[in-house]
Amino acid sequence: MNTPATVYIVDDDASVRDSLGFILEGYGMAVAAYADGNAFLTGADLTLPGCAILDLRMPGLSGMQVHQALRERESVLGVIFLTGHGDVPQAVEALRHGACHFLEKPVESDSLLHAISAAQRVSLQRSRAALIRQRLARLTQRERQTFDLLCQGLKNQAVADRMHVSLRTVEVHRANISRKLETASLIAFICQLNAEPAGDICPSASK
């Protein structure tokens, strides 16, 4: 059974943490609450898919600073900002740098649930993209060239002709690529890659 993605609540106001946690746990969500940004950054698992609800204005690290730290660590968490100040310029800045939503306090349950659902979808996309990038990095230059040509729809013989190698060499490259990408079907992997909306996860190695 898959572990549900955690929703992290980061707010210095205990009443906000408690009320949001009560609502979300009532919907069966896994919730972890932190009173400040430093505690969150050191205590949360930033590598797994999930959602972080950040208060914009907190003592110590602000929500924006926490978001910056998440970006620097290449966290896949989807981020939602909460504010009681309606700071539109900061909202625009946050969205421009990858935040999923910006909600004003007090937050309606429906709006919060919608934002969390969207943020978790983004987080899953980022996680899949990161995994694909990690696996693609295992390929040698020639394997990557072979993979790029296969992604263009070329058959084995056409790849061999383009690379000026034997058909057998291409077949060996394909076997190595499948092993390193941990896939039984290279075609299925390529189809998944082409359908992935989470940014440029597969820059070509060919120049």
Q: Which domains does the chain have, with CATH numbers?
A: 4-130 (3.40.50.2300), 138-193 (1.10.10.10)
Alpha carbon of residue 9 to chain centroid: 18
Length of the chain: 207
Distance CA 143, CA 177 (A): 7
Q: Is residue 138 within 8 Å of residue 171, measured between CB atoms?
A: no
84-115 b/e (C-beta count within 10 Å ≥ 16 → b): eeebeebbeebeeeebbbbbbeebeeeebeeb
Q: Percentage of the chain with pLDDT > 90?
A: 69
Q: What is the pLDDT of residue 81?
A: 94
Q: What is the pLDDT of residue 205?
A: 44
Q: Percentage of the chain with pLDDT > 70?
A: 90
Phi, psi of 18 (to 5 degrees): -70, -45
- Across the range 97-104, mean pLDDT stands at 89
